[in-house]
Structure 1
Amino acid sequence: MSDTNKTITFTNIMGQGRINQLGGVFINGRPLPHHIRIKIIEMASSGIKPCHISRQLRVSHGAVSKILNRYAETGSVSPGQIGGNPRSRLAIQAVEKHILALKAKRPNLCASELRSCLIEQEICSAENAPTVSSINRHIRSKKLNCSNSKDIKTPKKSPLNYSIEHILGLDGGLLPEFFSYFNFIIKQI
């Protein structure tokens, strides 16, 4: 074989690898490897700007910013869930059942107290316990946030002056002449 016929082939274990504008390899839709995430946090904590981290590690600026923001908010460098694991979904459902059971047993507990109970009963650890906002969201979705439904009075709806019922005269029980005439024509058809 001559030197001119040699071709360079790029093979990737995943078969999905792409090259970004900085020359780094990434797989679209997949999180960055853990060691790169750790390196981003280490570099940022040593005072290196995100744009320099991006260039040195050949990772997009958006990915660096996202990881740094997530670390600042949660203290975690682990990525979010990609599609969800059926086993983890079962675990989440089990925790949700415990939340509902605790709320049914002690309806006056707020979300932060429910979270503390989950940790104390060793249903969750402090690291993987649901956040207060997600507990509140779950309780709201199940409509268990009020301890006694009799305490809440729903306001009585008063008819609006500009409602279709008022315009057509249906709110007072009296039908205007044109409306009864219109009904008469429709019934004949």
Structure 2
Amino acid sequence: MKVNYAGITPSVARILEPDVIASLSGLGLGGEAASARDVTIWGQETRIIIGYGPSAIWIVDPNDHEKLMPLGAVGELLVEGPIVGQGYLNDPEKTATAFIADPQWLVAGHNDYAGRRGRLYKTGDLGKYDPDGSGGIVFAGRKDTQVKLRGQRVELGEIESQLKARLPSDTNIIAE
């Protein structure tokens, strides 16, 4: 292969062999959490870019999206921009929980940012601004128990529920 840039999910990147795509000089990882191993396996020659796409990311209190988190504090990541969808298909309750409009801090603006209206998606991802001052965001986990398994979203609570329904009642079940 003579590919020099690829934009893929970390799950797809994990099944590729860096030696087979030696021409790769840039790799964009997005759509799910990337681990340190996902980055280091590509060596020093491949520039890794981790992103959400054309968006702005805000970090808010995980329990109150009306409160911005201070620099260095872990909070929930909110995505704002043209990639923010309309909601969950045929699920207005889930849409109302995950999508918010016009948080007070966005409308009011601050310092160098003029106030404006906006629609944001509550990702459930936790993160903080990189302490190196680069403006990068360090992934710190999930707010819920959702994980990705081979690129598919899985709720650990659903696995526990199904196992509890099928195993003897005195069996302790914990999905991690």
User: What's the TM-score, normalizing by structure 2?
Assistant: 0.22
Answer with 1 or 2: which has the greater Rg. 1
Structure with more helix by fraction: 1
User: What's the TM-score, normalizing by structure 1?
Assistant: 0.21
